[in-house]
Amino acid sequence: MKPGTPPLQSSRLLDQVRERIRYMHYSLSTERVYVYWVRFFVRWSRREGQMRHPRDIGVPGVETFLTMLATERKVSASTHNQALSALLFLYREVLAIDLPWLNDINRPTQKRRIPCVLTKDEVASLLAHMDGTTALLARLLYGTGMRLMEGRRLRIKDVDFSTATPSSCATQKAARIVW
């Protein structure tokens, strides 16, 4: 916890996590996910019959929990990183306990993703089989290089008809020409 951070008002652990996340202006989805993983961790600690506070669990318990996620639950690497981030947030920001680097964790491996690239003929064939709004959106995305959500959020006022170019500023403050 950084100096000058206000003290937590709540006495309940999950409410303290929510309070600190909101103070630090994290997104609502991050709040939901972090609270989920903290709750899961606390419930998991009850496996010996008695629920323990994370302050009492310590580094070996965190390492055992993360190893269990990787080996028994077989979670993906991104899910594992999400759980790790949530626990690091809990210990550093809420409990003000600095965990040393967790070296003894069995981490899941990232699967290599090989991109699939279509030829020009395959793209033309694919676009020829589409019609209506789907075809328009697919042609726009393919021709301009826009991202999916940029294409979905595109409005008439975003198109500059004098130069026949759409400009998307839905995700950035400054407009950028996409074709």
Dist. CA 141–CA 148, nearest whole Å: 7
Residues of the chain with CATH 1.10.150.130: 13-94
Q: Token pair of 150, please?
A: 């940029």
Dist. CA 82–CA 90, nearest whole Å: 12
In a structure prediction context, what are the per-residue pLDDT tens digits for the chain, which is 179 residues long? 667 778 888 889 999 999 999 999 999 999 999 999 999 999 998 876 788 888 888 888 888 898 899 889 988 888 999 999 999 899 989 998 887 776 666 667 777 888 888 899 999 999 999 999 889 889 888 888 888 888 888 887 777 767 666 665 544 444 455 54
Q: Which CATH architecture has domain 13-94?
A: Orthogonal Bundle (1.10)
Q: Distance from CA of residue 59 to its chain's centroid?
A: 24
